[in-house]
Structure 1
Amino acid sequence: MIDIPGYRVLRPLGRGGMATVYLAVQESVDREVALKVMSPTLMADPTFGERFLREARIAAKLHHPNVVGIHDVGRSGDCFYIAMEYIPGGTILDDEGRAREVPFALRAVREIARALHYANSKGFVHRDVKPDNILIREDGSFALTDFGIARANDSATRMTRTGAVVGTPHYMSPEQARGRSLDGRSDLYSLGIVLYELLVGRVPFHAEDSLAVGIMHITEPVPQLPSEFKALQPVLDRLLAKEPDDRYQDGVAVATAIEGIERQIARGELRDLVRPRSASPRGGTERASPSARMGAEPRRRAEPSLGRMDDIVAAAERPLRATDARRPPDRDRVRRPGGSRAAWIFTGAFAFLVVMGGFVLWRNQDKLRALLPRTELNDLLARGDAASKAGRLVGTAGDSARELFEAARAIDPDNEIARSGLRRVGEALIVQAEQAREKNDYATAHSRLADARAVLGGGPAVDQAEQALKKAESEETQVIELFDRAEKALAAGLILGTDGAVMLYERMLQADAQNAPALAGLRKAGAALAAQARELLSQGRLDEAATRIDDIARALPNDPSVPNLRADLQNARAAAGAALDAQVKRAQDLLRAGKVSGSGDDNALAQFQAVLARDPNNSKARTGLGQVAQALMVQANAALESSNANLAERLIRQAEGIAPNLAELSAARSRLRDLREEVEIAASRPVLTPDQVQKVATLLASAEKAAAAGNLMVPPGTSAYDKYRAALAIDGNNAQAMTGLQSLPQRARDEFNVAVGEQKLDRAKDMIETLAQLSPGDAGLPFLRSRLAEAWLDEADRRVGENRAQDARRAIDAARGLSPSNPRLTVLEQKLRALGSSTTTAAGDGSGS
């Protein structure tokens, strides 16, 4: 068992490629901790220990509910260790690797997303988010562990091998698989893989080796969840987008998206997601037949029904037949059928004549009454009719139609002529009320309706007329209030907006399109807006002036000032555009002259910003600012190359302020951080002993000798690369070693040229491979491969001419490996086949002779 002072190690908890974790007791405070001891193999890089301690100490400053706390960081002999919060709940994966329930998976990912956001805001990228690094606390919350360790290992590794990749292959992002610089969005991709595994019970990409898994992360499409999880697919699509810009941009966005799904689940909207895994989803229960439903559930309510028509007829006929069956026969009818029939006919005819005569008298009672001698009743009816026709409907002098008809009804309450006359009086009063309402004479309208109600005793017509009158009065009151508000707003200079004069006048016109005060008010508002537009034009505020002109055109489409104002605006824009173009050209000239930024306005940055202050949408100025940011990044990288960290930081911040999404920023910030670390580490290194100085000098001499002999990367251990690196391991700031390392790519190019010139094509191929290892992104590699392919094809052509088919085949295959689309390959393949055919024919002729 390992021995670290201050800790009593109890038992191992787990082992990985980088470390072994023990359960231990921190004796000074008597608490259980998880003691992570780093693997001794990591000490192969002499800078790892210092980087590890620095990264772990910074990570110890992370304090978040979902981040495992770090209690202590240190070194004991050759052992580097971290004492962390001990969480006995284990990792989020089931012991048997089975899928988790959806609420569990969503809560875990939501909490870890917030932890990653917090860490990223502090400048940390985890680099190794996976289930093994997510632990469950006793209260059911989740905690992320191993911050800082992955970066410490990454920093050490990429010092020794370009393009090295750190992380667990099944969970790494595409950019991590490519060995590119990382930011917090890479951790979110890994978190998406964790979400998939929690839901499905396995990782989405699996292959025989780590390299194949990394390629799948880069090339395979986003995995699709099973159909029951389709509601979660949009979240997974964004987490596992191949390009970081297409993913969620921070952990808060991930947590917010998941919280939305959790709220839907709580409302019962996503029931498929929360079904127990053991119960297969069902589409619903079988429907019972209508008869079965009726038998199972009594009818609570039913509409009355008539039944079938033939049943009704039968029911109506049955009593009649029963009565007929019980009635005794009429003996007289039996004895004297003829006499009985004649009596019945006579009686019926007489009754009919009596009824018809009464009906005719009733229908013509008024006409018959008029034939009678004139009485007081007839006089009242005649005078009432005359008053009605003369328009004297109501009054108090005794000669109005209402008074006369009512007097007639006092004599004969059932007199139809009086009733009809009063009805006509009431209807005429309603008409007069409506006419008064249309003239806005609301007092007369109210009076007429009161009389109509008294005459008619109310009724729907009176009610409708009163409702129309009330509505008209309300609308007039609103119009008056709107006019007062509009006039006050215009006087206060409040012309536009919800409570502006223009809007208030327009609301008046909605009620009355010909409202004269409203139309006059709009004209006054238009004149005030025109004055504002002219003032804005004189100040050069052209966009605001255009808005004012549009306001005038909308409020007063026929205002004569609008065409002139538009012409003035067009001229002002032309003049302003010419001035802006001149300023943009000056900014571009300053940029080409290298005057990128600085104090005052004699630099490209100041000029482009001045243009955008006047025209925020100026595309040339926006493009120019992007070019300024690129130029600042070039200067920042140059400062980094010269180890001027302060200047590099200032330039990076300036570029970030101009173009926050610039692609080069992330890599530059990472380089700046590494530079500052290297400076601090170098400053803390002890002074070299004489023996170390001598050893460095010997290593440098061996490196120069190996480089001169062309042994740049091989043989291992004695190559120039390994010797320079060994010297830097002792003296990390040795300028000669750094220069020597930087010169190796050019030496590889020189060796390539010599080898091609001497027809040492295998040697030339070795130099291409060396250059690819030293400088993977070298822009000249494609050209060198193409050139070597041509040399191999020339070799193949010569060998075909010499009838050396085997050597020709080897040369063609070498060329194809370098440039598979070279058109000469087809031609030489044909020559080679022809050579083989002729050789076979010649051999056949020789045997025949």
Structure 2
Amino acid sequence: MFPTTVSISGYKVSEQLYNGSRTLVYRGYRETDLLPVVIKLLKNPYPSFSELLSFRNQYTIAKNLNSPLIIQTYSLEPYQNGYALLMEDFGGISLKDYFTSDQTRHTDFLQEFLRIAIALCNTLDILYHSRIIHKDIKPANILINPETKQVKLIDFSIASLLPRETQTLMSPNVLEGTLSYLSPEQTGRMNRGIDYRTDFYALGVTFYELLTGRLPFRSNDPMELLHCHIAKDPGKIKSEEIPQVISDIVIKLMSKNVEDRYQSALGLKFDLEKCLHKLKETGTIDSFEIAKIDMCDRFIIPDKLYGREAEIATLLEAFERVSKGATEMILVAGSSGIGKTAVVNEVHKPIVRQRGYFIKGKYDQFQRNVPFSAFVQAFRNLMSQLLTESTSQIQQWKNKILEALGENGQVVIEAIPELERIIGKQTPAIELSGSASQNRFN
């Protein structure tokens, strides 16, 4: 158990603010000058290297962001086996708590929402120009002072200083970020890179929740939640209190393809300011064309593939037939570097949307001495995907695989070691010699 009393040299702790699964947050003050502080600690008394790295990461990134829109970090102090992160205390509470209060649901609710949304646009613009991806935008990580209405962004524990990165396929239980606010590309199942626009998707989910009081996608099953982000349409916000144009803005932010979202925080801010101006002037917000001046000042090559629509359609038609029980093989041929891999990768997203498994293997000229190298690569990738499934689904796959392999389980495990994590240890294979061993797979 974590100690209930916290003692940090030079600081006095007054109350606990948050008790989460990984962190503890306290309010206190610095004894030398009575400066109010918020103290964040790791809950694990023996934190792992990744937990310590995450803690240092949020301090390193936040300390270089000198903005009133972002929580200021004062210092990172050693505490027991980990660290204590000392941050400013401006009397804020989370947006989640602020908007669940009955007092906020008044006639000026929409005006207040728009002011907060505009402040968040300014925050994301700062992150954009600092080349930082937050990756965990949500109401719990946005603080507001109930009196001054000042808004600040917190928690840079999984933020990235890379302008673009790739999310590898992982179990939904260990994915970075919060599942309810995760962008499709952040799931690692979209064959798409992560850039600053992933924060726009999470901001859209946040806006949706603040406006409606509920999340666009709700499920107790992590895999179901990931599938919703990848394939399910959240639908427009149906409420007489929420103007159509605000609903359009939120849905655009939540587009599955990054190219269809807003491309700049300032473009989004312009539309929100226009809404606020109309609301103040007339009391209503008439519809208008959104994203009219939205543009990005960076040269970004889109992930979308152009000029191969016919080939992609052929592959997807084959997938449709296979999903109905057919068995097919398609050969994609062409000169080296012409884009065969790019064409095949383009069907990744539609297949995952239908909850299929997309696996691939490639024969490499430097691995000609490895038998079945492309098949081994493909099936090792399949094992990685299966291991992200629920326990019951893994058990179903185990039964199917054991039924298909019979006594040859160990033979395949020797070629695909990851298979052992699904079907368990198998009886040793009968040793064969000479050509019989080479022809075993035949």
Q: When the two structures are superposed, what TM-score results if normalisation uses the length of structure 2?
A: 0.59
Deviation at 1:33, TM superposition (A): 0.9
Tell me the alpha carbon deviations over residues 764-812 of structure 1, each in whole angstroms, 9 at most, x when there is no partner.
9xx9664435699xxxxxxxxxxxxxx999999xxxxxxxxxxxxxxxx
| Alignment counterpart, residue 220 of structure 2, candidates 198, 208, 231 | 208
**What is the RMSD computed on CA atoms of the aligned residues?**
4.0
C-alpha contact (below 8 Å) 1:106/1:258 kept by paired residues: yes
C-alpha contact (below 8 Å) 1:192/1:236 kept by paired residues: yes
Task: State the distance in 2 between where 1:160 and 1:5 align.
Answer: 42
1:24 to 1:258, Cα distance in 2 relative to 1, 3 A: same
> Do residues 266 (structure 1) and 280 (structure 2) align?
yes
One-letter amino acid of the structure 1 residue matched with residue 181 of structure 2:
Y
Deviation at 1:13, TM superposition (A): 0.3
| Alignment counterpart, residue 3 of structure 1, candidates 7, 25, 28 | 7
Residue 184 of structure 2: aligned partner = 174
1:175 to 1:149, Cα distance in 2 relative to 1, 3 A: closer
State the secondary structure of the residue aligned to 1:265.
Answer: helix
Task: State the distance in 2 between where 1:792 and 1:34 align.
Answer: 55
1:604-683 matches, within 5 Å, as 660-663=299-302
Deviation at 1:217, TM superposition (A): 1.2
1:179-258 matches, within 5 Å, as 181-228=193-240, 229=242, 230-258=244-272
State the secondary structure of the residue aligned to 2:152.
Answer: strand
1:78 to 1:267, Cα distance in 2 relative to 1, 3 A: same
Tell me the alpha carbon deviations over residues 378-425 of structure 1, each in whole angstroms, 9 at most, x when there is no partner.
xxxxxxxxxxxxxxxxxxxxxxxxxxxxxxxxxxxxxxxxxxxxxxxx
1:219-618 matches, within 5 Å, as 219-228=231-240, 229=242, 230-268=244-282, 270=284
Residue 134 of structure 2: aligned partner = 126
Deviation at 1:48, TM superposition (A): 4.6
Highest CA radius of gyration, 1 or 2? 1
Deviation at 1:35, TM superposition (A): 0.6
One-letter amino acid of the structure 2 residue matched with residue 8 of structure 1:
K
C-alpha contact (below 8 Å) 1:126/1:151 kept by paired residues: yes
C-alpha contact (below 8 Å) 2:158/2:177 kept by paired residues: no
One-letter amino acid of the structure 2 residue matched with residue 74 of structure 1:
E
Task: State the distance in 2 between where 1:204 and 1:775 align.
Answer: 26
C-alpha contact (below 8 Å) 2:45/2:81 kept by paired residues: no
> Do residues 116 (structure 1) and 124 (structure 2) align?
yes
Residue 772 of structure 1: aligned partner = 382
C-alpha contact (below 8 Å) 1:87/1:135 kept by paired residues: no
One-letter amino acid of the structure 2 residue matched with residue 225 of structure 1:
I
Q: Which has the higher helix share?
A: 1
Deviation at 1:176, TM superposition (A): 1.4
C-alpha contact (below 8 Å) 1:222/1:241 kept by paired residues: no
C-alpha contact (below 8 Å) 1:56/1:73 kept by paired residues: yes
C-alpha contact (below 8 Å) 1:186/1:244 kept by paired residues: yes
Residue 140 of structure 1: aligned partner = 149
One-letter amino acid of the structure 1 residue matched with residue 131 of structure 2:
G
State the secondary structure of the residue aligned to 2:270.
Answer: helix
State the secondary structure of the residue aligned to 2:75.
Answer: strand
> Do residues 71 (structure 1) and 74 (structure 2) align?
yes
C-alpha contact (below 8 Å) 1:33/1:83 kept by paired residues: yes
Deviation at 1:111, TM superposition (A): 0.4
C-alpha contact (below 8 Å) 1:177/1:215 kept by paired residues: no
1:267 to 1:209, Cα distance in 2 relative to 1, 3 A: same
Deviation at 1:87, TM superposition (A): 3.1
One-letter amino acid of the structure 2 residue matched with residue 226 of structure 1:
K
Residue 82 of structure 1: aligned partner = 85
Task: State the distance in 2 between where 1:118 and 1:42 align.
Answer: 35
> Do residues 14 (structure 1) and 23 (structure 2) align?
no
State the secondary structure of the residue aligned to 2:24.
Answer: strand
Task: State the distance in 2 between where 1:752 and 1:97 align.
Answer: 61
Task: State the distance in 2 between where 1:210 and 1:792 align.
Answer: 27
Deviation at 1:94, TM superposition (A): 4.6
1:159 to 1:660, Cα distance in 2 relative to 1, 3 A: closer
Tell me the alpha carbon deviations over residues 477-498 of structure 1, each in whole angstroms, 9 at most, x when there is no partner.
xxxxxxxxxxxxxxxxxxxxxx
One-letter amino acid of the structure 2 residue matched with residue 238 of structure 1:
K
Task: State the distance in 1 between where 2:207 and 2:237 align.
Answer: 10
| Alignment counterpart, residue 58 of structure 1, candidates 61, 66, 78 | 61
1:171 to 1:47, Cα distance in 2 relative to 1, 3 A: closer
One-letter amino acid of the structure 2 residue matched with residue 772 of structure 1:
L
C-alpha contact (below 8 Å) 1:37/1:81 kept by paired residues: yes
Tell me the alpha carbon deviations over residues 470-520 of structure 1, each in whole angstroms, 9 at most, x when there is no partner.
xxxxxxxxxxxxxxxxxxxxxxxxxxxxxxxxxxxxxxxxxxxxxxxxxxx
Gaps of 5+ in 1: 153-157, 274-656, 665-745, 757-763, 777-790, 797-849
| Alignment counterpart, residue 115 of structure 2, candidates 107, 111, 123 | 107
C-alpha contact (below 8 Å) 1:11/1:23 kept by paired residues: yes
Report the count of equivalent residues: 302
Gaps of 5+ in 2: 162-166, 288-296, 304-365, 387-400, 407-442
Tell me the alpha carbon deviations over residues 170-213 of structure 1, each in whole angstroms, 9 at most, x when there is no partner.
11111112366422211111111111111111111101223222
Deviation at 1:64, TM superposition (A): 1.7
C-alpha contact (below 8 Å) 2:217/2:234 kept by paired residues: no
One-letter amino acid of the structure 1 residue matched with residue 269 of structure 2:
A
Task: State the distance in 1 between where 2:17 and 2:151 align.
Answer: 19
Deviation at 1:216, TM superposition (A): 0.8
Residue 26 of structure 1: aligned partner = 30
One-letter amino acid of the structure 2 residue matched with residue 105 of structure 1:
F
Task: State the distance in 2 between where 1:31 and 1:183 align.
Answer: 37
State the secondary structure of the residue aligned to 1:124.
Answer: coil
Tell me the alpha carbon deviations over residues 738-773 of structure 1, each in whole angstroms, 9 at most, x when there is no partner.
xxxxxxxx99x96978xx9xxxxxxx9xx9664435
1:193 to 1:51, Cα distance in 2 relative to 1, 3 A: closer
1:222 to 1:3, Cα distance in 2 relative to 1, 3 A: same
One-letter amino acid of the structure 2 residue matched with residue 39 of structure 1:
K
C-alpha contact (below 8 Å) 1:124/1:148 kept by paired residues: no
One-letter amino acid of the structure 2 residue matched with residue 209 of structure 1:
D
Task: State the distance in 2 between where 1:216 and 1:245 align.
Answer: 19
C-alpha contact (below 8 Å) 2:58/2:159 kept by paired residues: no
1:218 to 1:774, Cα distance in 2 relative to 1, 3 A: closer
State the secondary structure of the residue aligned to 2:47.
Answer: helix
One-letter amino acid of the structure 1 residue matched with residue 251 of structure 2:
D
Tell me the alpha carbon deviations over residues 280-304 of structure 1, each in whole angstroms, 9 at most, x when there is no partner.
xxxxxxxxxxxxxxxxxxxxxxxxx
Identity %: 25
Deviation at 1:89, TM superposition (A): 3.6
One-letter amino acid of the structure 1 residue matched with residue 72 of structure 2:
G
C-alpha contact (below 8 Å) 1:35/1:83 kept by paired residues: yes
1:795 to 1:74, Cα distance in 2 relative to 1, 3 A: closer
1:203 to 1:50, Cα distance in 2 relative to 1, 3 A: closer
State the secondary structure of the residue aligned to 2:210.
Answer: helix
Tell me the alpha carbon deviations over residues 287-331 of structure 1, each in whole angstroms, 9 at most, x when there is no partner.
xxxxxxxxxxxxxxxxxxxxxxxxxxxxxxxxxxxxxxxxxxxxx
1:270 to 1:15, Cα distance in 2 relative to 1, 3 A: same
State the secondary structure of the residue aligned to 2:93.
Answer: coil
Task: State the distance in 2 between where 1:160 and 1:244 align.
Answer: 19
